[in-house]
Amino acid sequence: MELFEQIRREYEHGGGTIRGIAKKLGIHRRMVREAVLSAIPVERKTPVRERPKLAPAMAFVDALLEADCKAPRKQRHTAHRIWCRIRAEIPEVKVAESTIRRHVRERKIKLGLTRRETFIPQSYSWGAEAQVDWYEAYAEICGERQKTYLFCMRSMASGGAFHRAFPHASQQAFLEAHELAFAYFGGVFTKLRYDNLKSAVKKILRGYQREETTRFIAFRSHWGFASEFCTPGEGHEKGGVEGEGGYFRRNHLVPVPQVASWAAL
């Protein structure tokens, strides 16, 4: 708008020619003519690009995202997961993952499904530390949607993780899952970091001090590992396992799994 005003001033009061004004301002003569005819720039329409590669998959992608509006918030499709499903379910469609990512980002903004996540890189010694947590997900078991409690132990050095689903987050399941995780990793970590879950913590004291349950103390003594507990409400102190739970949910529990039994899950 300001440029059009300057062009009109030069033309009407400066005595300039169309060619002279274009050369002075470093613009095309066509723009000078447009400004002389009208003080308001013509609204330019951006042409809609055709998407020949995306078009065959667009309905499939949109259907998944619309279904996600009714799915549990933490069990919704990522762009990568959708791209993997396209490759598996409609292999005749050849589309790049970057194309799917752009379309999914646009659609999620329109559907209100977007959230921003922040990640901080960290480094650990091999076998030195793992993080432990429970997280929740839903599954169709024998035709009925049920809430499941998944135990997760994540190695902070390798990023490898062990997951196991239980119907309840009880202390028995908590300790049993530890033993299964130690067998999976082939050893015991030097230190395990926890949230202040009731299976291990009886009472939160000052700072990092905790009054731990008798059974957990005996279990820890038997396996010979050290334990640390996070500050209440500060989930970022064990961000590795928090992120792992979300990653596993999005990539292995989307869509909501349908199984015949807990053992199958």
Q: How far is CA 253 from CA 75, 153, 160, 182, 190, in A?
A: 7, 17, 18, 24, 31
* Residues 242-255, mean pLDDT to the nearest whole number: 87
Q: Rg of the chain's alpha carbons, rounded to an integer?
A: 29
- 139 shares its domain with 107: no
pTM over 0.75: no
- 149 shares its domain with 186: yes
- Does residue 123 belong to any structural domain of this protein? no
**pLDDT value of position 115:** 61
Dist. CA 50–CA 72, nearest whole Å: 33
Higher pLDDT, 119 or 44: 44
Which of 55-64, 177-186, 211-220 has the highest average model confidence (pLDDT)? 177-186
- 175 shares its domain with 252: yes
- Number of domains into which the chain is organized: 3
- 72 shares its domain with 10: no
- 143 shares its domain with 237: yes
